[in-house]
């Protein structure tokens, strides 16, 4: 899959694509179904399949002071989309220029002049253009005028949950329910970041950890998790290990910023500077403060054993 950060960079071979348009944060089951519909149309027309999204997320542009909420930063989103067979990801910059484009300018300058799309697939609640002046009806009318098809995709629901949405998945992760979030996502949610140098306290306790700061990513519930860790190199998984992780502020050795500390089982090597994807499989317990170092080490051993048990049961 090729990634483009500007719409005027797209080569002729990728013109005429069927384009799925949306934010696709999390690339959840609803997003996957919409992209699958776009793929069916692209294959029928022998056209490329593209996804058009924005970076940063429009909400991050309009509310820069708000807490981080992203489920999938660009790097993770791109990898998930590539797995779905997408030919091109158009991660267009959402800035002042993009924000003030009218619906007519968005369609005329981007979808037609730059991309010459053959079709667009969007959700029923799709809105676009300055002050969200454009909607499905506007896009459909302009599609008729310009000669591209517009497909409104039905909302995907899950039994007992109603509409599958990124907002609901965020709530589940913040409520320490990563397994339920994974059911709606269609994949296990992961924290992705580069390993940083820490205080090496875990190593002295017999449980060395890979330390990561989340950056512009949703903060899940504080606590201990059974995890699966992917070690990435150029966005390809080169090794995979089970493990146990703590996310939070470490009540005994408090940190000013929440930290993900992951202990990889059966691993002996240097992870500093490596890029990891830590999948939160199951929540084990909340963070806690212990009476002393011995009690903390004993609890970590119990957590590790519990994580091994959980992961072995769902291997």
Measured on CA atoms in the order 215, 218, 223, 225, is the torsion positive or negative?
negative
- Residue 52's nearest CA partner among 140, 137, 115, 108 is 115
Residue by residue, DSSP assigns the chain as: -EEESSGGG--GGGTT-EEEES--TT--HHHHHHHHHHHHHHHHHT--EEEEEEES-HHHHH-TTSPP--SS-HHHHHHHHHHTT-SEEEEEE-SHHHHT--HHHIIIIIIIIIT--SEEEEETT-EESGGG-EEHHHHHHHHHHHT-EEEEEPPPEETTTEE--HHHHHHHHHTT-HHHHHHHHTS--EEEEE-B----HHHHTT---EEE---SS----SEEEEEEEEEEETTEEEEEEEEEEEEE--TTS--SS-EEEEEETT--S--TT-EEEEEEEEEEE-----SSHHHHHHHHHHHHHHHHHHHHHT-
Q: Whole-angstrom Cα distance, residue 53 to residue 89?
A: 8
Cis peptide bond upstream of 56, omega within 30: yes
Placement of tokens 């609640």 in the chain: 125
Task: Confirm whether 261 is a catalytic residue.
Answer: yes
The residue annotated as part of the active site, out of 55, 192, 261, 279, is 261
Catalytic residues: 261
């Amino acid at each position: 899959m090729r990634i483009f950060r500007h719409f005027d960079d797209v080569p002729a071979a990728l013109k005429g694509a069927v384009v799925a348009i949306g934010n696709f944060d999390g690339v959840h089951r609803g997003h996957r179904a919409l992209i699958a519909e776009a793929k069916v149309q692209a294959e029928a027309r022998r056209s490329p399949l593209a996804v058009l999204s924005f970076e940063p997320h429009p909400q991050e542009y309009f509310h820069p002071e708000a807490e981080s909420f992203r489920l999938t930063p660009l790097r993770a989103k791109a990898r998930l989309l590539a797995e779905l067979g997408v030919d091109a990801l158009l991660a267009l910059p959402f800035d002042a220029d993009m924000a003030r484009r009218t619906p007519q300018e968005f369609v005329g300058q981007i979808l037609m002049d730059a991309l010459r799309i053959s079709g667009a697939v969007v959700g029923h609640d799709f809105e676009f253009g300055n002050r969200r002046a454009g909607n499905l009806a506007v896009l459909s009318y302009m599609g008729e005028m310009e000669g591209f098809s517009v497909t409104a995709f039905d909302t995907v629901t899950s039994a007992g949950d109603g509409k599958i949405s990124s907002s609901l998945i965020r709530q589940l992760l913040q409520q320490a329910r990563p397994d339920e979030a994974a059911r709606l996502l269609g994949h296990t949610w992961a924290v992705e970041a580069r390993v940083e140098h820490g205080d090496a306290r875990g190593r002295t306790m017999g449980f060395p950890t890979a330390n990561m700061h989340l950056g512009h990513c949703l903060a899940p519930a504080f606590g201990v998790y059974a995890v699966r860790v992917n070690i990435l190199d150029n966005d390809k998984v080169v090794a995979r290990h089970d493990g146990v992780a703590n996310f939070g502020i470490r009540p005994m050795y408090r940190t000013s910023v929440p930290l993900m500390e992951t202990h990889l089982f059966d691993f002996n090597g240097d992870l500093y500077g490596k890029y990891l994807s830590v999948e939160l499989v199951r929540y084990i317990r909340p963070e806690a403060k212990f009476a002393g170092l011995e009690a903390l080490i004993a609890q970590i051993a119990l957590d590790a054993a519990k994580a091994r048990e959980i992961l072995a049961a769902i291997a």
